[in-house]
């Protein structure tokens, strides 16, 4: 993906956005591409233009935010190709900067955001800007949750749709770039079984996962990538990914798959809620998903996928060929964990 704007990071003066800036700067340096720092914000109050008194809690202006950027850049031996700071006039925004950030993502390789912003509302609906960008961005959206650290494990969730290959390729390339292990998870849950048995569904899922992994190309670096793929049963996909993300540094999913995007939305929501919701939520009031979200450390990456992918007939033909070949070659395998060493 060669896009002119390189890595774009949105900042608003919040601690979360400075952490995102740090991560984006390091990633742009690693990719040897340019970094563009944007301060884009919407209207702070729906009646702002009619209010006579300016709120003391109003967010900082663009000049002040951009002046602080240099002080938050890490010192690295290798720097990005260039760093550009700008505060474009809002073209589309009303209450949220998300529409403008989505517009800028059309020319970007990555869009990087903090999990929560500087809005005065309660976590701004737990990261609503990040949620809207992840759902509509033209490039992968990275929701940064903690200070940058070494990426050793990349976790990718796939669902069996043709779109999953985009997710898997992005996760594979990122694992290769960081010399990390790639873990691939597919979750099947009871409603998927009828009219087939659980064992038939599980076997089909294993074949699908193996087939998807085998479509990956050789690693761009030539170092090779260790891939562990697993089929998991009886859990909701978002909950299972959150559970497994405790040991991951990057959690990767598609914006849309076989569903309507509820899994990616749940992951972004959990990422934001962890940072500012933990102190407010009582133990008895927190759901199992919320308690899990408070524990997982990974950043969340949402890769854009099309609701109706083009050339899906090619995928269907490949799957049919693979399914027939598997029927002839393989007996049912009880082990749900598959290991690959891809060159």
Average pLDDT over residues 291-320: 62
Count H helices and E strands in the chain, helices first: 10, 11
Distance of CA 75 to the CA centre of its chain: 26
Pairwise CA distance, residues 286 & 280, whole Å: 10
**More confident call, 231 vs 115:** 231
SS3 206: helix
pLDDT (tens digit per residue) in 214-272: 889 888 888 889 999 999 887 788 888 888 888 899 999 998 766 667 788 888 877 77
User: Which pTM was predicted?
Assistant: 0.77
Q: Alpha-carbon dihedral of residues 301, 96, 12, 116, nearest 10 degrees?
A: -50
Give the single-character DSSP code of 54.
P
Beta bridge partners of 253: 302
Pairwise CA distance, residues 260 & 128, whole Å: 17
Task: Using pLDDT thresholds of 50, 70 and 90, give the confidence band for residue 285.
Answer: very low
The count of C-alpha atoms lying within 13 angstroms of the C-alpha of 133, restricted to the half-sphere facing its C-beta, is: 35
Task: Using pLDDT thresholds of 50, 70 and 90, give the confidence band for residue 274.
Answer: low
Average pLDDT over residues 163-172: 92
Report the side by side order of strands in the sheet with 299-303: 83-86, 35-38, 7-10, 110-114, 141-144, 299-303, 250-254, 153-157, 181-188, 225-233, 337-342
- Residue 43 confidence (pLDDT) above 90: no
pLDDT (tens digit per residue) in 199-211: 888 888 888 899 8
Handedness of CA 109, 88, 134, 251 (dihedral sign): positive
Average pLDDT over residues 63-69: 73
Instruction: Identify the pLDDT of residue 126.
Output: 41
Reply yes or no: is the peptide bond before residue 142 cis, omega within 30 of 0: no
Q: Which of 89-103, 125-139, 147-161, 314-328 has the highest mean pLDDT?
A: 147-161
Tokens of 69: 């950027």
| Residue from 25, 16, 22, 19 nearest 7 by CA | 25
Instruction: Identify the pLDDT of residue 66.
Output: 74
Ordered by where they begin, the domains of the chain are 7-144 (3.40.50.620), 153-342 (3.40.50.620)
Pairwise CA distance, residues 218 & 181, whole Å: 15
Are residues 127 and 118 in contact, defined by beta-carbon separation less than 8 angstroms? Answer: no
Pairwise CA distance, residues 108 & 34, whole Å: 10
Q: Above pLDDT 70, what percent of the chain?
A: 66
Give the single-character DSSP code of 103.
H
| Residue from 306, 304, 277, 307 nearest 289 by CA | 277
Average pLDDT over residues 152-164: 89
Instruction: Identify the pLDDT of residue 259.
Output: 63
**More confident call, 123 vs 5:** 5
């Amino acid at each position: 993906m060669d896009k002119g704007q390189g890595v774009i990071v949105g900042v608003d003066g919040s601690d979360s956005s400075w952490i995102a800036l740090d991560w984006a700067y390091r990633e742009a340096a690693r990719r040897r591409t340019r970094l563009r720092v944007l301060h884009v914000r919407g209207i702070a109050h729906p009646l702002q233009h009619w209010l006579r008194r300016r709120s003391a809690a109003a967010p900082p202006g663009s000049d002040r935010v951009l002046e602080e950027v240099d002080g938050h850049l890490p010192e690295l031996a290798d720097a990005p190709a260039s760093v550009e700071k700008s505060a474009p006039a809002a073209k589309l925004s009303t209450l949220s900067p998300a529409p403008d950030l989505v517009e800028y993502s059309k020319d970007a390789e990555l869009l990087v955001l903090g999990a929560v912003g500087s809005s005065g509302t309660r976590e701004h609906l737990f990261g609503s800007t990040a949620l809207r960008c992840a759902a509509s961005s033209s490039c992968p959206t990275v929701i940064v949750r903690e200070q940058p650290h070494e990426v050793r494990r990349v976790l990718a969730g796939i669902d069996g749709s043709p779109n999953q290959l985009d997710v898997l390729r992005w996760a594979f390339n990122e694992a290769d770039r960081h010399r990390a292990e790639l873990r691939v998870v597919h979750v099947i849950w009871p409603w998927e079984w009828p009219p087939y048995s659980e064992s038939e569904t599980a076997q089909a899922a294993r074949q699908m996962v193996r087939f998807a992994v085998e479509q990956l190309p050789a690693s761009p670096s030539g170092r090779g990538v260790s891939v562990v793929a697993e089929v998991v049963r009886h859990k909701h996909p978002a909950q299972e990914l959150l559970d497994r993300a405790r040991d991951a540094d990057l959690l990767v999913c598609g914006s849309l798959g076989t569903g309507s995007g509820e899994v990616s939305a749940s992951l972004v929501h959990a990422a934001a809620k962890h940072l500012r919701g933990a102190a407010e939520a009582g133990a008895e009031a927190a759901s199992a998903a919320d308690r899990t979200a408070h524990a997982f450390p990974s950043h969340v990456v949402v890769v854009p996928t099309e609701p109706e992918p083009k050339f899906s007939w090619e995928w269907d033909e490949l799957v049919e060929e693979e399914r027939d070949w598997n029927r002839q070659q393989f007996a049912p395998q009880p082990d749900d964990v598959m290991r690959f060493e891809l060159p």
